[in-house]
Amino acid sequence: MTTPAKEIRTFEWSEIAAHKTRDDLWMVIDGKVYDTTKFLDEHPGGEEVMIEVGGQDASEAFEEIGHSDDARALLESLYIGDLSVAAKAGKAAAKVVDGAQATADAVKQKAGGSGFGLFPLVPLVAVVAFAVYKYLEKQQV
C-alpha cells in the first residue's frame, strides 16, 4: 500500500474572485492562492495596493516591486492552496492567444493590412492549450 500524498486544496477563479475585500482578501501569486486578510495591516506597502489586486492574479504586481526574500518567506504562512489545473491551463492558453494575436498583428502589418487575423492560428492554440493542460495535470500528481 502506498501512503496517500498530502491533499492540496485547489481553487477555481470564480471562488478566488469572491474574496476581494479588506475583510476577506485572497490573491494568486505564481499559481498559488494566498489568504492575505490577516497580513493586510502589516503590509509595508500599505493596504490599498493589496486590495487593488484582491481576488486576482497578483504575480506581476508582486514581482514588479522586487519583493525581498523575507517577503517571499512570508507568503508561506499565507498559503491556502493552488490554482486548479484547469485555471492554470486557461491562463497559459490566454498567454498563447495573446502571443498569437501579437504575431497575427505583426504579420498583418507586414502584409500591409491584408492578414488573415487569428483564423489560421486557432487549431495551433487549441493544441498548445491541450498540451499545457496535460503537462500541468502530470506535474500535479
Quick check: 51 binds ligand HEM (CB under 6 A)? no
Q: Closest residue (Cβ) to ligand HEM?
A: 45
Cell numbers at 30, concatenated: 505564481
Following CA atoms 51, 54, 57, 61 in sequence, which dihedral angle do they give, to the nearest 10 degrees? 10
* Rounded alpha-carbon distances, angstroms, from residue 90 to 12, 43, 78, 85, 136: 11, 30, 24, 8, 11
Closest alpha carbon to 106 in 119, 93, 98, 115: 115
Torsions phi, psi for 107 (to 5 deg): -60, -45
Quick check: 61 binds ligand HEM (CB under 6 A)? yes
Per CB under 6 A, the list member of 16, 25, 33, 53 interacting with ligand HEM is 53
Per CB under 6 A, the list member of 25, 50, 83, 136 interacting with ligand HEM is 50
Size of the site for ligand HEM (CB under 6 A): 20
Per CB under 6 A, the list member of 71, 100, 104, 107 interacting with ligand HEM is 71
The residues of the shown chain that bind ligand HEM, judged by CB under 6 A, are 34, 36, 39, 43-45, 49-50, 53, 58, 61-62, 65, 67-68, 70-71, 74-75, 78
